[in-house]
Amino acid sequence: MSGGSVSPPPAANGVTWRILAASGRGFDALVGFLVLVPALAVASAIPVLNLLSLGYLIEGSGRVARSGRLRDGFPGLAGFSVIGKAALAAWICWLPVRLVHSYWRDAEWIAPGSPNAFALRAALVILILATALHLLWAVLRGGKFRHFLWPAPFRFALWIGGGNSGSLPVRTAFTGFVSGLRPGHFLRLGALGFVGAALWLAVPVLVLMASAGLKNPGLSALGSLCGGLLLGYVALLLPLLQTRFAMTGRFGEFLDPLAARRSFRRAPLAFWLALSATLLSALPLYLLKIELAPAEIAWLPNVVFVLLILPARLLLGWALARAERRETARIWVSRWAARLAAIPVATIYVFFVWLSQYLSWHGTLSLLEQHAFLVPAPLLGL
């Protein structure tokens, strides 16, 4: 043996590296998710962009349906992770500025115009400029954690002097992030998914709205019952149709309920679970509409809804993936058990939708806001 140190076994190094790599991937995924959710929530509260948000949800369920892996349901998550890590690093870099600012405010409060206050103010201005330049340079270099920790002064000097210090990756990274998200593709999916769902929802929603306006209590109750039954049937079928559209990208899937029923028969319990998650996840937003939220915080309820509806969409894709892997229907016991168990779920959903017209600020117009299938945000008052 040469030397006095003993290196760890290669297997130990391999296990440690795998643990560190897995921890890093988990941290990246968490940061990306924490950025993705408010991004979808904000987009959901903006006209036209809310279709892009719906398209993202549809694309996520379609990817899971095609691959069968839940982790595939987060398009662009790596890019959102980069944005989140850059924002976190920038916040850390800005801490010294806050500290010096607090010292300057205290000095001005104790002795306004004193030499100490003037020196702290000059130091604060210099620190703000230096920090802003450092953040800009870190972003230009790619916006990774290491870029914020080490300013690379020699490369900066070469770049300022026009030397050949290598191309800055920020433009390539930003272009790749935007093109990877494919906003045009998401907007198209959202628009088609919206139109397809609206075609199915039009009749039951219009029946419910017309029934609410009838002065005869008997006719109004009968019309509400018919509209509720129609809406219940659509609520049971539409999630499957929309997910099949997400998987294939063909608008004709909305016009083929038999194909959706065949998919249900091949994975009934999985579809019951996904259907329950989809319908029940929309209920909290109906409760949040009792009071009209100010326009500046209109996106905040959407955060709750995105946190609920995104997993539900992924579950729909997972259920369809299970159905696509099977060639025969499940036994009749599981099929009928899923059908019977889905009835109370649809009943609860229809009841909340019907009740929303009496609780919501917008009255019967709130029936148009089918959050489980249309854009994941209130359509009214935006």
Does residue 288 form part of some domain?
A: yes
Buried b (16+ CB within 10 A) or exposed e, 250-277: eeebbeebeebeebbbbbbebbbbbbbb
Q: What is the DSSP string of 293-350?
A: PPGGGTTHHHHHHHHHHHHHHHHHHHHHHHHHH-SSPPPHHHHHHHHHHHHHHHHHHH
Distance CA 133, CA 127 (A): 10
91 and 105 inside one domain:
yes
Q: Crossing angle of helices 115-140/77-93, nearest 10°?
A: 160
214 and 143 inside one domain:
no
Tens digits of residue pLDDT in 223-249 = 999 999 999 999 999 999 999 999 998
Q: Specify the 3-state DSSP secondary structure of 99.
A: helix
332 and 282 inside one domain:
yes
Among the ranges 72-81, 148-157, 160-169, 315-324, which has the highest mean pLDDT value? Answer: 315-324
Q: Specify the 3-state DSSP secondary structure of 71.
A: helix
Residue 170 has pLDDT above 80, yes or no: no
Residue 276 has pLDDT above 60, yes or no: yes
Q: What are the tokens at 91?
A: 């916040």
Buried b (16+ CB within 10 A) or exposed e, 341-374: ebeebbeebbebbbebbeebebebebbbbbbbbb
138 and 283 inside one domain:
no
Residue 148 has pLDDT above 90, yes or no: no
Which secondary-structure segment (H or E) carries 10? helix 10-44
Residue 163 has pLDDT above 60, yes or no: no
226 and 119 inside one domain:
no
What single-letter DSSP state applies at residue 375?
A: -
Phi-psi region of 214 (alpha: psi -120 to 50; beta: other; left: phi over 0): beta
Write down which residue in 118, 152, 178 finishes a domain. 178
Does residue 53 form part of some domain?
A: no
Q: The tokens 């019952």 sit on which residue?
A: 225
> Considering only 43-52, 162-171, 255-264, which range has the smallest mean pLDDT?
162-171
* Contact indicator for 230, 207 with CB cutoff of 8 Å: yes
* Contact indicator for 235, 297 with CB cutoff of 8 Å: no
Write down which residue in 125, 160, 178 finishes a domain. 178
Does residue 149 form part of some domain?
A: yes
Q: The tokens 């000095």 sit on which residue?
A: 107
Residue 171 has pLDDT above 90, yes or no: no
Distance CA 57, CA 372 (A): 11
The pLDDT of residue 236: 93
For residue 321, the tally of other CB atoms under 10 A from its CB is 23
205 and 102 inside one domain:
no
Nearest one of 216, 227, 239, 252 to 323, comparing CA atoms: 239
Distance CA 217, CA 224 (A): 10
109 and 203 inside one domain:
no
- 86 pLDDT tier (thresholds 50, 70, 90): confident
Half-sphere exposure for 30 (CA within 13 Å, toward CB): 7
> Considering only 128-142, 201-215, 260-274, 291-305, which range has the smallest mean pLDDT?
291-305
Distance CA 320, CA 263 (A): 7
Tens digits of residue pLDDT in 110-119 = 888 788 888 8
186 and 296 inside one domain:
yes
Q: Which domain holds residue 285?
A: 70-75+182-368
Q: Specify the 3-state DSSP secondary structure of 280.
A: helix
195 and 275 inside one domain:
yes
Residue 263 has pLDDT above 50, yes or no: yes
320 and 189 inside one domain:
yes
Does residue 12 form part of some domain?
A: no
* Contact indicator for 351, 268 with CB cutoff of 8 Å: no
Does residue 57 form part of some domain?
A: no
The pLDDT of residue 136: 82
* Contact indicator for 67, 321 with CB cutoff of 8 Å: yes
Mean pLDDT for the chain overall: 82
Length of the chain, please?
382
Q: What are the tokens at 236?
A: 């049971």
249 and 339 inside one domain:
yes
338 and 281 inside one domain:
yes
**Total domains, the chain:** 2
Write down which residue in 178, 205, 225 finishes a domain. 178
Q: Specify the 3-state DSSP secondary structure of 40.
A: helix
Tens digits of residue pLDDT in 42-55 = 888 788 888 888 99
